[in-house]
C-alpha cells in the first residue's frame, strides 16, 4: 500500500496536499479509516468527493481509494440469491447488464439517470449512497428493492437496511473505521416489477426535485407486496410504509393507486427552496408515486 501526495484542495488560493492511499485489502482500508477518523474519506468514482474537496466543502488529510480491493468491484447476480453489488462498481456496468436490467429495472432506471454517460462511467451506486444526499437518485430505488448495506469495520462486517443508512443530509450510519463493502439486493420474487422516476425542471443533468422508487409483487391480479420510497422530500430518503402496505391484497385499480399516492404525500416532509416549494413537492410525490406504480405493475406483468 503506497502513499502519494495528491494536491487537489484549494485553500485561500493555495493548493493543500492531501495523502492518497490505495489499499489492496479490506483490513488495510479499515486500519486507515480507524487511524485517521473523519480526516479520511473513501474515494470510489470521485464524482462527488473530488468536487467537494476542490471546492473546499470538505477538509481532508487522506483519500482512501477503494478500487484495488477485490470485494468492492464485485458484481454478481444469482437468480436464487440476488445481487451482490460492490460499493465501487460504476453505474454503466449495472446499466449494460441484461440480467440486472430484467431483475432490478428500478435500480437501472436510477443508475441510468445519474449524470450522463461520462459520469456513469465513474460514479458508483455505493458512492451515491455514502454521499447521503437527500436527492440521490439511487437510494429510493435501492430501498424499493429492499437493499441492505454490508459494512466492513474494525469489528468485522455488519448489515444495515438502506432505509436506515442515511441519518441526515451528508451523514450516514458509518462509524469510525467503517466503509461500505457492498450492497446486497434480494432475488426478486416471481411477478415483481419496479421503477424509479424523478422530476427535474429540465431534461437532463439536474438534481431531483422529487424522486420515487416503487416495487410491486403480484399474485394473479392481486398485490402481494409493495414498497414505495421517496427522495428529495426530507432530510433523508423515506420508506413510505403506509403507502406500500395499503396496496397489499388490493387489485391495484385506479382508486388503490390514488390511495397510495395520498398516503405517500402524507409521509413526505419537504422543504421549500429555490428548486420548488413544499406544497409543489408534495403534489409531485402523488403524481410520481402513481406513475411509478403503473410502470412497476406493467413490468410485474411482464410488460
Ligand atoms: C456532472 C454531475 C452530474 C451528477 N448527476 C447526478 C444525478 O443526476 N443524480 C445523482 O444522484 N447524483 C448525481 N451526481 C452526483 C454523483 O455522480 C453521485 O453521487 C455518484 O453516484 C457518487 O459516486 P462516486 O463513486 O463518484 O462516489 P465518490 O465521489 O467517490 O464518493 C462519494 C462520497 O461517498 C463516500 N464513499 C464512496 N464510497 C464509499 C464507500 N465504499 N464507503 C464509505 N464511503 C464511501 C466518499 O468518501 C464521498 O464522501 C452528479 C455529479 C456530477 C459531477
Predicted confidence (pLDDT) per residue in 22-32, tens digit? 999 999 999 99
Instruction: Give alpha helix (H) positions in 185-267.
Output: 241-245, 254-267
Distance CA 154, CA 39 (A): 17
Residue with cell 482500508: 29
Predicted confidence (pLDDT) per residue in 169-188, tens digit? 999 999 999 999 999 999 99
Residue with cell 403480484: 218
What pLDDT, on a 0 to 100 scale, did the predictor assign at position 13? 57
Residue pair 9/56 in contact (Cβ under 8 Å)? The answer is yes
- Kindly report the average pLDDT of the chain as a whole number: 94
Residue in 113, 119, 172 to alter for ligand 1 test, most ligand atoms within 8 A of Cβ: 119
> How far does residue 43's CA lie from ligand 1's centre (Å)?
9
Predicted confidence (pLDDT) per residue in 153-174, tens digit? 999 999 999 999 999 999 999 9
Distance CA 98, CA 131 (A): 27
Residues with CB under 6 A from ligand 1: 41-49, 51, 66, 87, 113-115, 119, 122-124, 126-128, 130-131, 136-137, 174, 179-180, 205
Nearest residue (by CA) to ligand 1, atom 41, is 180
Q: Please enumerate in sequence order all residues whose Cβ is within 8 A of that of 218, keeping only pairs 6 or more positions apart, or say none.
A: 191, 192, 193, 224, 252, 297, 300, 301
Residue in 115, 208, 209 to alter for ligand 1 test, most ligand atoms within 8 A of Cβ: 115
Distance CA 88, CA 26 (A): 13
> How far does residue 257's CA lie from ligand 1's centre (Å)?
33
Amino acid at each position: 500500500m503506497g502513499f502519494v501526495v495528491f494536491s487537489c484542495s484549494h485553500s485561500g488560493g493555495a493548493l493543500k496536499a492531501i495523502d492518497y492511499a490505495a489499499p489492496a485489502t479490506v483490513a488495510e482500508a479499515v486500519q486507515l479509516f480507524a487511524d485517521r477518523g473523519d480526516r479520511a474519506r473513501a474515494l470510489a468514482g470521485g464524482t462527488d468527493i473530488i468536487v467537494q474537496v476542490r471546492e473546499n466543502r470538505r477538509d481532508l488529510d487522506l483519500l482512501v481509494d477503494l478500487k484495488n480491493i477485490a470485494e468492492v468491484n464485485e458484481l454478481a447476480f444469482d437468480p436464487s440469491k440476488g445481487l451482490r453489488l460492490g460499493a465501487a462498481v460504476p453505474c454503466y456496468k449495472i446499466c449494460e447488464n441484461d440480467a440486472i436490467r430484467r431483475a432490478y429495472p428500478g435500480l437501472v432506471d436510477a443508475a441510468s439517470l445519474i449524470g450522463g454517460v461520462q459520469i456513469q462511467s465513474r460514479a458508483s451506486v455505493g458512492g451515491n449512497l455514502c454521499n447521503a444526499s437527500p436527492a440521490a437518485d439511487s437510494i429510493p430505488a435501492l430501498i424499493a428493492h429492499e437493499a441492505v448495506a454490508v459494512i466492513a469495520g474494525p469489528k468485522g462486517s455488519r448489515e444495515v437496511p438502506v432505509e436506515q443508512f442515511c441519518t441526515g443530509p451528508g451523514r450516514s450510519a458509518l462509524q469510525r473505521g467503517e466503509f461500505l463493502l457492498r450492497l446486497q439486493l434480494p432475488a426478486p420474487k416471481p411477478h415483481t416489477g419496479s421503477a424509479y422516476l424523478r422530476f427535474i425542471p429540465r431534461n437532463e443533468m439536474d438534481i431531483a426535485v422529487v424522486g420515487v422508487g416503487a416495487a410491486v409483487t403480484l399474485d394473479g391480479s392481486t398485490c402481494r407486496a409493495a414498497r414505495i420510497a421517496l427522495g428529495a422530500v426530507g432530510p433523508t430518503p423515506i420508506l413510505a410504509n403506509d403507502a406500500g402496505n395499503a396496496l397489499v391484497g388490493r387489485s391495484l385499480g385506479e382508486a388503490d393507486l390514488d390511495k397510495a399516492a395520498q398516503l405517500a404525500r402524507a409521509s413526505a416532509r419537504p422543504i421549500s427552496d429555490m428548486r420548488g416549494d413544499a406544497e409543489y413537492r408534495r403534489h409531485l410525490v402523488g403524481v410520481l408515486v402513481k406513475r411509478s406504480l403503473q410502470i412497476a405493475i406493467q413490468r410485474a406483468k411482464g410488460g
